[in-house]
A and B are shown apart, each in its own frame.
Chain A
């Protein structure tokens, strides 16, 4: 048997209660089969159709118009034969499951619409014809996601982390003095002249290869174009590291390469871009003047 949603059952019970003049609780109990159905006083006035065969005719017709709600199976014959709809589902109310089958052959015989009384005396204003379960035609693709409220579960850690960052930055700035050398002088070239640290990997490459390759083609073609196009090149939809080993390897090599080149450029290059050891020849990078002392 189909489970009828509670709110539909309630709505049906309200209609029934209104029609029969009983309380909603009672109507609900009747529909659930917990108590005997109410017999309406106007009972005899109901016109029973002659052709209605035995099982239907035996039943006091007006007795149970609404309980059909309980067994939608019983609705099927009613839909097929509009005529005795009010009468035939009656037995269904008493014993739901077997009765559901019974009215079918009986109803199919009474296929004489002209004899039907479309206005029975019973004041049934509303009836539950059928229950269509709320089931979409298409299966939803999206699975429900486990979510938490942004406030406070995200915003609190965010707030703490930015406070920590502020503290770290202020502490750093209080301890380390930003470098300020002599005033700019285009006539005095320092040796070596170094770019900011994030360009020192490039400057290091520049010392190996032709500047057109190292200074322009690599940063422009490799760094910008290839980097931006990366999601369009890597069409592997997997995100777990074990299923995208090449991509992980590629990026890790890039990181290691960039890191090594930058560290060489910052620490291991001295006058004339010659190899120096920071613990022997000192640091040749003015941004780090106040940072590390090898004395």
Chain B
């Protein structure tokens, strides 16, 4: 037997240590069977199924999907990207909440965020452009679904939920529009709120309810803040859960055409 150099010995020890760690009790307790992080993962149909089945996030997906559905040109990933943008907005939004008070100080907080907090400007920009992008992507997703006739039986009700999700997305974006508390924010919301005032019969009450008064004030700011960070995300998550669940229950992706 040939004598191993010290370097080779170290390398061998490192590999065997990594192997015994990957095959050890800790890793196999964290990762369920079929995970590529477990020792002895091989690319087999069985393990490909396990990857999806044994992961809490991935099992939103079925183990198998229709072949035409994985073509990028079919969906352009628009539904998935809507969801992903929602997650990005949640993360950046929670980060922004650390530096923001929905009072007269809101404007100063935004100024401080942009000037004296590390990455403050970047995260605020990501939140704002991400929100605009989400409205756009959700709208494009709806258009894609329409052009593929994917709202047809048995998916009618999921279309209804989708329209509700679009409205909630618009409401989330609209309530967030007021929060920087600058001239752009207050007057855009005033225009929108005045539109609600034209509702027949209950117009005045609708406007009063939205503004928490007769016009946009700091009371409106607090109201929109609570709607924006708590109420509407709460509602939209529920509807998203139903939406995703129905996609599976209605037979997966629509088509092929």
Contacts and interface: CB of A to CB of B under 8 A. Distances in A.
A and B pair up: yes
Interface of A: 145-155, 157-158, 161-162, 165-166, 169-170, 172-174, 176-186, 188-190, 193-199, 202-203, 206, 211-212, 215-216, 219-220, 224, 227-228, 230-232, 234, 236-241, 244, 247-248, 251, 255, 286-287
Residue among A145, A150, A155 with max Cβ neighbours from chain B (10 Å)? A150
B63 A186 contact: no
A198 B107 CA distance: 24
B191 A195 contact: yes
Contacts of A216: 195, 198-200, 203
A286 B180 CA distance: 14
A186 B177 CA distance: 16
Contacts of B254: 239
A231 B159 contact: yes
Interface string B135-151: 10001000100111111
26 contacts: A146-B68, A147-B64, A148-B65, A149-B64, A151-B52, A153-B70, A154-B61, A154-B69, A154-B70, A162-B81, A169-B129, A169-B130, A178-B124, A179-B184, A188-B183, A194-B188, A197-B132, A199-B174, A206-B195, A212-B200, A216-B198, A231-B153, A239-B148, A239-B149, A240-B257, A247-B149
A12 to B, nearest CB: 32
Contacts of B223: none
A188 B129 CA distance: 27
Interface of B: 45, 48-49, 51-52, 58, 61-70, 72, 77, 80-81, 84-85, 88, 107, 110-111, 114, 121-122, 124-126, 128-130, 132-133, 135, 139, 143, 146-153, 155-156, 159-160, 163-164, 167, 170, 173-174, 177, 180-188, 190-192, 195, 198-200, 203, 215-217, 254-255, 257
